[in-house]
Structure 1
Amino acid sequence: MKILAIETATEACSAALLIDGAISLRYQVQPRMHSQLILPMMEELLNEAGIGLSALDAIAFGRGPGAFTGVRIAVGVAQGAAFAADLPVVPVSTLAALAQRGYREFGFRQLLPAYDARMQEVYWGGYVVDGQGLVRSVFDEEVSTPESVTLPDGLNWQGVGAGWDSYRSVLEARLGNAFSGCEPGLFCSAEDVALLGAALFNEGESVAAEQALPVYLRDKVAAKPKQVNQ
């Protein structure tokens, strides 16, 4: 299997190339530079491997939630590359990819990834690690105030991501005894987008390039008052 993955939804910009289980990575924490960095990163990886886009099975991308501009960059680049090479794309949750990195680097098996969504809110999800070493969601990802995030069942939950840097005290109080610690310095990486993208591809979760859509989560929140008033 050959999958090229890109991730631009947070402060870190990265691209990864997965070939038969081996992953090569380009990764830089350079806010507001993603549009200049991502295409050269992709080109470097392909040239290093001696292959072109047409040799890939799919392109995976971090589809959000995250910074609006960063998510749009990932969608646009993934679509452009997929159209050029007639490839399917695999949308991967950036919260899931962040959780996957928490497991990959720290061995956490019950993870609560959080990004700062601004407006005193967080993007929030809950994941556990399955028998294949991949994270699986235990409740729907959401955007909410730190005081009202969905609580997971059980104990020993670890937080990951910058949302914990912004709202640790509130989130810790909300979780109570379920909280076991956090790593707020983690950003999403294309390496984990590639790992999850490969699994989703094998499960038949790829889509055509024109169906590569962003997930902002806040769109759903904005729509709720309209639905209530109808």
Structure 2
Amino acid sequence: MKILALDTTSGACSVALYCDGQTSEQFVRAERDHTRRLLPMVDRVLADAGLKLAQLDALAVSRGPGSFTGLRIAISCTQGLAFAADKPVVPVSSLAAMAAGARKLHPSWEGAPIVAMLDARMQQVYWGVYGADTPSDSLLPEAVQNPEQVVEKLRDSGLPQSIYGAGPGWHYFQEGEAPSETAAAVVKERDLEVPIRARDIAELALPLWQSGATVAAEALEPLYLRNEVTWQKRQKIRSQ
């Protein structure tokens, strides 16, 4: 089984290859350099493995949520590669990938749910909750909300008391921010530095591919969650 995964969701650019049980990755933090870096990284990962695009079984990509521009770069690149090689695409949640990465970084978190969170700007966050048994699917619907709403939803969720937080969206809950005292009541520990990585997208894509959760390249669409903002940006782009 061979899956090539791409991600430019946030401040990093990464490409990974899952090949018969082994995962290799190119990862670099590049806030505004994704477009120039991405395809050379794809070439390098494939060359290192001695593979050509046609030998892949599928491609995988972060479907979002995340940066509007970042999502479009990775998705457009994935579409082009998938068209060229006539391969299916596995869309993977960026929040699920972040939670999977956090679980690797923190073995002590074991099987507890992880609340992955990205900064959605405008004093809001993208968030979801991921368990060890179903790492690709959020235990609560992925959403964009303000921090106070997140705390309220977690308190009413019936999730176990020991849950953990991952991702830069948790900065709203740092000391001095409005909901900081309530964050401690719903999560046991937080790691704000966990990145979204293509290696986690590739590994999450494997069971999704096996279950048939793929799309054709032309059907691949990002998931923004904040649809009204996305619509305004699309309208602005089309009018230029």
TM-score by length of 1: 0.91
1-structure distance, mates of 2:144, 2:123? 10
Determine the structure 2 residue equivalent to 1:181: 189
Question: Please, which runs of 5 or more residues in structure 1 have no aligned partner?
Answer: 224-230
Q: How does 1:146-165 map to 2 (within 5 A)?
A: 146-149=147-150, 150-151=153-154, 152=157, 153-165=159-171
Determine the structure 1 residue equivalent to 2:122: 119
1-structure distance, mates of 2:230, 2:86? 35
Deviations 1:140-180 (A, max 9, x none): 10001011013142211111011112433555544453310
Determine the structure 2 residue equivalent to 1:228: none
1-structure distance, mates of 2:41, 2:181? 41
2-structure distance, mates of 1:207, 1:170? 41
Task: Tell me the secondary structure at the aligned position of residue 91 of structure 1.
Answer: strand
1-structure distance, mates of 2:227, 2:127? 15
Maintained 8 Å contact 2:92/2:205 = yes
Maintained 8 Å contact 1:154/1:178 = no
Maintained 8 Å contact 2:7/2:61 = yes
Determine the structure 1 residue equivalent to 2:207: 199
2-structure distance, mates of 1:172, 1:91? 33
2-structure distance, mates of 1:204, 1:49? 25
Does 1:60 pair with 2:27? no
Maintained 8 Å contact 2:224/2:230 = no
Task: Tell me the secondary structure at the aligned position of residue 84 of structure 1.
Answer: helix
1-structure distance, mates of 2:122, 2:171? 15
Question: What residue identity is the alignment partner of 1:121?
Answer: Q
Question: Please, which runs of 5 or more residues in structure 2 have no aligned partner?
Answer: 232-240
Maintained 8 Å contact 1:17/1:45 = yes
Maintained 8 Å contact 1:161/1:187 = yes
Per-residue deviation at 1:7?
Answer: 0.7
Determine the structure 2 residue equivalent to 1:215: 223
Question: For the aligned residues, what is the CA RMSD?
Answer: 1.8
Per-residue deviation at 1:209?
Answer: 0.5
2-structure distance, mates of 1:165, 1:24? 30
Q: How does 1:78-117 map to 2 (within 5 A)?
A: 78-107=78-107, 108=109, 109-117=112-120
Maintained 8 Å contact 1:3/1:57 = yes
Question: What residue identity is the alignment partner of 1:126?
Answer: V
2-structure distance, mates of 1:58, 1:17? 10
Task: Tell me the secondary structure at the aligned position of residue 198 of structure 1.
Answer: helix
Structure number with the higher strand fraction is: 1
Task: Tell me the secondary structure at the aligned position of residue 97 of structure 2.
Answer: helix
Does 1:140 pair with 2:141? yes
Aligned length: 221
Q: Percentage identity across aligned positions? A: 41
Question: What residue identity is the alignment partner of 1:163?
Answer: G
TM-score by length of 2: 0.87
Maintained 8 Å contact 1:99/1:135 = no
Q: Compared with structure 1, are the counterparts of its residues 222 and 42 closer, same or farther at alpha carbon in structure 2 (3 Å cutoff)?
A: closer
Determine the structure 1 residue equivalent to 2:235: none
Per-residue deviation at 1:203?
Answer: 1.0
